[in-house]
């Protein structure tokens, strides 16, 4: 994304505002250019910034656990990566009660990443939930949820 550069700062007194404090034509153009630059910077800062959340679940058991309660900002989840030290399980990541689109992770001693391109938009206030199933002697499950700030 291209950032609009503001017009050069006027150096002559009275160029931005007249003696009554009203913006001159040149002042109006200058302030508009500053506003456009700020808008571009805010849009860039709030779009596609990487985001990740990692957690270690020492002894996962079948069932659901909320790992982020009331997310403070919107994100798009693009992948979930898992690995454990022993055992196996299936991990389904959910936003509130809705599973991410795509395949759940088969958690084992081999690292696995599953991509998610649907049902993956978290809005501010949403919960991130891990639902474990088919757990078999699993220990030390590392989970990284990755994406971008929406």
Q: Are 128 and 73 in contact (CB under 8 A)?
A: no
Q: Give the E-state strand segments of the chain in sequence order.
A: 49-57, 63-68, 75-83, 86-95, 98-99, 105-107, 112-115, 121-122, 128-139, 141-149
Mean pLDDT in runs of 10 for the chain (150 residues)? Answer: 66 69 75 74 69 92 93 93 98 97 96 95 95 96 93
What pLDDT score does 107 carry?
Answer: 98
Calpha distance 39→44 (Å, rounded) = 9
Domain made up of 50-149: CATH architecture: Sandwich (2.60)
Q: What are 56's strand-pairing partners?
A: 142
Neighbouring C-beta atoms of residue 30, cutoff 10 Å: 19
Domain limits, the chain: 1-45, 50-149
pLDDT number for residue 82: 98
């Amino acid at each position: 994304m291209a950032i609009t550069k503001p017009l050069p700062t006027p150096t002559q007194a009275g160029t931005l505002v007249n003696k009554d404090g009203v913006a001159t034509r040149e002042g109006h153009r200058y302030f508009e250019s500053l506003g456009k630059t700020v808008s571009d910077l805010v849009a860039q800062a709030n779009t596609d910034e990487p985001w990740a959340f990692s957690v270690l679940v020492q002894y996962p058991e079948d069932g659901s656990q909320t790992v982020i309660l009331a997310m403070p900002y919107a994100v798009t989840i693009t992948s979930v990566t898992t690995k454990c030290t022993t055992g196996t399980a299936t991990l389904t990541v959910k936003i509130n009660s809705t599973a991410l689109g795509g395949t759940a992770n088969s958690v084992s001693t081999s690292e696995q990443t599953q991509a998610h391109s649907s049902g993956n938009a978290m809005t501010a206030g949403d919960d991130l939930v891990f639902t474990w199933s088919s757990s078999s002697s699993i220990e030390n499950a590392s989970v990284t949820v990755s994406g971008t700030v929406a």
